[in-house]
Amino acid sequence: MKIGIIGIGAIGSFLVENLPAHEFVVFDVDTDKSQAAVATLSKMGLSNVRFVSSFVDLLSEKPELVVEAAAQAAVPLLLDALNQSDALVMSVGALTDDALLAKLNSTAQKSGHKLLIPSGAVGGLDVLQACRPSEVVLETRKSPKSLNRSDSEETVVFDGSARAACQTFPKNVNVAATLSLAGIGFDKTRVRIVSDPKIMQNTHTVRIKGAAGHYVFTFQNEPFLQNPATSQLAAYSALWAISKQNAAIQIG
């Protein structure tokens, strides 16, 4: 399968390394950094990746799937991608923009392509979707460094809606967006973010109350070495979604 990737940073490079049977075409606004990343991958013996200088050039290669692995600002590019291919979103927090989400949903429905969202740094989304939830609370604990802080003691840095959390910490709580889309929405899902200097793993505790029962899930994830703000599981969930050509949430 030919896969287009927007962003050849930590996760983009991880996908190329771990899916050698696929062909990759990558685009990144940071041309020098992305060309260096592709050169590094080539030195590793990976000849399945090419860099193109514009997103138009990426689409002209007619990929079967386009993966956004850059940042929230890159997600609107998937509107054009969905006209000709499936698309997978990593920066799920961008979907707090209701107008953008509606456009992506409409484009996917009209084109017959899929907008896919991997499970990211959590699991249990099948339970969340099935239990008719009335309350969803996420507590995220991360090291101060991964939150760009220098706290010497445990500090609550955010307590509010998932929508506000995704907008305030766009690189840290994509999991809040994923839970919101699977459950009761961005404004009803509650998020608490704790900077904890004692913690070694990115920890997410999800508490769900629903018609079918009450549920608590705790996920203790190893930080992604190349980007500690992201959990290793987020990268593996993208790998799984591409390998299975499926994802935890499908929109459109």
Q: In 3-state terms, the chain is what percent helix, strand and coil (to 5)?
A: 40, 30, 35
What is the rounded CA–CA span in Å between residue 243 and residue 123?
Answer: 18
Most distant CA atoms of the chain, gap in Å: 54
Terminal-to-terminal C-alpha distance of the chain:
22
Question: Do 193 and 144 form a contact (C-beta atoms < 8 A)?
Answer: no
What is the β-pairing status of strands 65-68 and 49-51? unpaired
Three-state SS at 64: coil
Nearest to 193, CA basis, from 162, 224, 227, 238: 162
108 residue type, one letter: A
Two tokens, residue 36: 């260096």
| Catalytic sites, residue numbers | 204
Give the gyration radius of the chain's Cα atoms: 18
Two tokens, residue 59: 């689409």
Within 10 A of 201 (CB to CB), how many other CB atoms are there? 15
Cβ-in-10-Å burial (0-12, 13-18, 19+) of 11 comes to buried
Nearest to 189, CA basis, from 171, 209, 217: 209
